Amino acid sequence: MNAVEILSELQTRGVELQAAGDRLRYRPVELVASALLDELSEHKEEILELLGGRVGDALGGVEAASVTAADLCQMRLGEFASAGLVVEVRSKILDEVVIFASDNAPVDPGERRAIYRASELRALVGLEPKGLCQVNLVKKTFRGTIGPS
């Protein structure tokens, strides 16, 4: 199983899974068989990324141009959401510069590049490159926001 399949299986079983720092917490414990527990352990890092997501993962990796950008790439989305930051990032997959903005940060209304709020980035984590490119094209064309799926 991969990380997404594991999360799907847990949801089907009615198991609540949460990221707690670098640990996974789940309940009810009795619904997680030992084989599934082994899968959780094996894919722990991927699952933590899917649950908590790091800012730099949303658009397929960000090239860090400075120490500040490197710090940003390690920041959890929850931290970034309220950090009041607006940052230019170069997406390797999109091969262009886009804007990542905290949910509470003001952004220049004349900005022509795609702007991704922290609340939108979570929806992008795990998308295949083709899907990211399609979302970015639509975002640039219509200037809208990405809602929950």
| pLDDT tens profile 84-95 | 888 888 888 898
pLDDT band at 133 (very low <50, low <70, confident <90, very high): very high
Average pLDDT over residues 33-62: 72
CATH fold group of domain 3-52: Arc Repressor Mutant, subunit A (1.10.10)
Residue 108 has pLDDT above 90, yes or no: no
Spatial strand order in the sheet of 115-117? 86-91, 96-101, 115-117
Residue 110 has pLDDT above 50, yes or no: yes
Tokens coding 43: 């894919």
User: So what's the pLDDT on residue 130?
Assistant: 93
Alpha helices (H) in 14-128, listed in sequence order? 34-42, 44-52, 67-74, 77-81, 118-124
Residue labelled with tokens 């930051």 = 85
CA–CA gap between residue 99 and residue 101 (Å, rounded): 6
Task: Tell me the domain boundaries of the chain.
Answer: 3-52, 55-142
Average pLDDT over residues 68-79: 71
| Predicted TM-score (pTM) above 0.75 | no
Average pLDDT over residues 50-70: 50
